[in-house]
A = this chain, B = another copy of it.
Amino acid sequence: MAQKPSIPKGTRDFTPAEMARRNYIFDTIRSVFHLFGFQQIETPAMENLSTLMGKYGEEGDKLLFKILNSGDFLRGVDPGLIASGDCPKLAPKLCEKGLRYDLTVPFARFVVMHRNDLSFPFKRFQIQPVWRADRPQKGRYREFYQCDADVVGSDSLLNEIELIQMIDEVFARLGIRTTIKLNNRKVLAGIAELVGEPEKIVDITVAIDKIDKIGLENVKAELSERGLSAEAIDRITPIITLSGTNEERLSQLSQLLADSETGLKGVAELREVMEGSKTLGLRSELELDVCLARGLNYYTGTIIEVKARDVEIGSITGGGRYDNLTGVFGLPGVSGVGISFGADRIYDVLNTLNLYPEDIAGAAKVMFTNFGPAEAAKSLEIIKQLRANGISAEIYPDNAKMKKQMGRADALGIPFVAIIGESELADGYVTLKNMTSGEQNRMSVEELIKALA
């Protein structure tokens, strides 16, 4: 029975043209990770649900894809629970495993399990897909890649400086002009402390994080709704509307946060990271953004976010410093700092700006036409020499009409077609056609290798 095939919603196939573009991004990121001494790991797609559950909040638990146990999955499950139809309670009884939701929790689990084999500080990168049972929409997928780099086991701010250099190098190589925004959780804590509402740090940051979108007046209104006094709001206002150079902002900020030890520590950390980055030089803009919050409950120090300057799109990279990555798995005291490149958004930015190099198509450099067995045999012999010289080459496998054969080279973006016909077979020469210019030249095999190398 013939089926009309489809794929699950929110998932994607990648065609050769798309793969070539994606590989260009991943290869660029991977090269830079290696250049900075980060080492790759991989973890299984499936994790035990006990590893994943409770790590992403109640909403996150619902978004985990769960794997039905094999075989007799109802055995031992309370019949009353089955009859009750209580799916959230029943699911963990039917499923022991789930698909990973991000790379951070599996990484934490990895660090704990392999801690005796790892050398700390441990600098790892990981490029793998993750799965979320989110409602699919434009730009949001149920399967997508994450590209994470983290340093664990070191409190040094040199790590932040290195990660910022790494971000700068990746986007310079990709040709994307970026602004790297920095903040520090301690500055946010300092603000909350300053207005006498340290326990309201989440309320405050959720509100001020929206200033770019909704404007100052609406932020003030929201702060008021969230229970802040007029006086508190007045004290916050100059902080969230800092202006001038980064140096000017830092010096204003240290005055405004003078009464908060935590706040001043945050300012000092920001200053060290920003000055270190400036000394080394960056092609990206670096911007102190006191309103930047990103996953606040997770980060404990530096917060990093990267925006593309020439395309309106959300952040294309983010990260920060966290304490106690592995505490939940029984290994306290492991802190770290990391970043995550958003491959899908970077892909969109490169597409929008048409920034791909010309030669990433991934097809062969030259296709030999096929005029029959003798010509094909000669072609294969020459192709073997080309490949030995590192030139990707192929032959049209069938003796089809010339139009069809040339059509394939066109469709795949193969830049050259080599022709061995009767006369070439006789004299040992090859006719090489440049598919862009249409120019044709007869040449020896040695000349062919030079022309294509």
Q: Which residues of A contact B (CB under 8 A)?
A: 1-8, 11-16, 19-20, 23, 34-37, 39-48, 50-51, 62-63, 65-68, 70-74, 82-83, 85, 87, 90-91, 94-97, 99, 109-110, 112-114, 117-121, 123-124, 129, 131, 133, 142-143, 151, 154-156, 158-159, 161-162, 165, 169, 276, 279-281, 327-330, 362-364, 367, 370, 376-377, 380-381, 384, 387, 390-398, 407-408, 411-412, 414
21 contacts between A and B (CB under 8 A): A1-B328, A3-B50, A5-B51, A7-B109, A13-B114, A15-B118, A23-B40, A34-B392, A35-B390, A35-B393, A36-B364, A36-B387, A37-B364, A37-B367, A39-B363, A66-B68, A119-B412, A121-B397, A162-B394, A165-B384, A276-B380
Interface centre among A46, A162, A390 (most CB of B within 10 A): A46
A391 to chain B: which residues have CB within 8 Å? Answer: 35
Q: Across the interface, which residues of B come within 8 angstroms of A82, CB to CB?
A: 82-83
A142 CA to B384 CA, complexed, in Å: 38
Contact between A96 and B276, CB atoms less than 8 A apart: no
Q: Quick check: B13 and A44 within 8 Å, CB to CB?
A: yes
In the complex the two chains form, what is the Cα distance from A113 to B68 in whole Å?
28
- A396-B83 Cα distance, complex, nearest whole Å: 59
Instruction: Give the contacting residue for A398; candidates B13, B124, B154, B412; CB below 8 A.
Output: B154
Q: How far, in whole Å, are A303 and B143 apart by their CA atoms in the complex? A: 35
Residue of B70, B74, B119, B131 touching A408 (CB-CB under 8 A): B119
Contact A5 B42 (CB under 8 A): no
Task: Contacts A158-B397, A330-B2 given; indicate if A8 touches B48 (C-beta within 8 A).
Answer: yes
Instruction: List residues of chain B with CB within 8 A of the CB of A74.
Output: 85, 87, 90
Closest B-chain residue to A119, C-beta based? B411
Chain B residue, CB-CB nearest to A94? B68
Q: How many angstroms between the C-alpha atoms of A129 and B143 in the bound complex?
A: 14
Closest to A411 in B: B119
A330 to B44, CA, bound (A): 34
Find out whether the CB atom of B62 lies under 8 angstroms from the CB atom of A65.
no
Contact call B363/A37, Cβ cutoff below 8 A? yes
Distance (Å) between the CB of A107 and the closest chain B CB? 10
Known: A380-B276, A392-B34. A119 touches B407 (CB 8 A): yes
Contacts of A133 in B (CB 8 A): 70
Given contacts A156-B397, A377-B276, contact A41 B13 (CB under 8 A): yes
User: Given A73-B87, A411-B119, is A40 in contact with B11 using a C-beta cutoff of 8 Å?
Assistant: no
In angstroms, Cα B23 to Cα A117, docked, is 20
Write out the residue numbers on chain B whose beta carbons fall within 8 Å of the beta carbon of A376: 158
Known contacts A67-B65, A109-B5, A279-B377; A114 and B15 CB within 8 A of each other: yes
* In the complex with contacts A35-B390, A41-B16, A131-B46, A8-B158 CB distance below 8 A: no
Q: Which residues of B contact A66 (CB under 8 A)?
A: 67-68
**Which among B15, B34, B112 is the interface contact of A362 at CB below 8 angstroms?**
B34
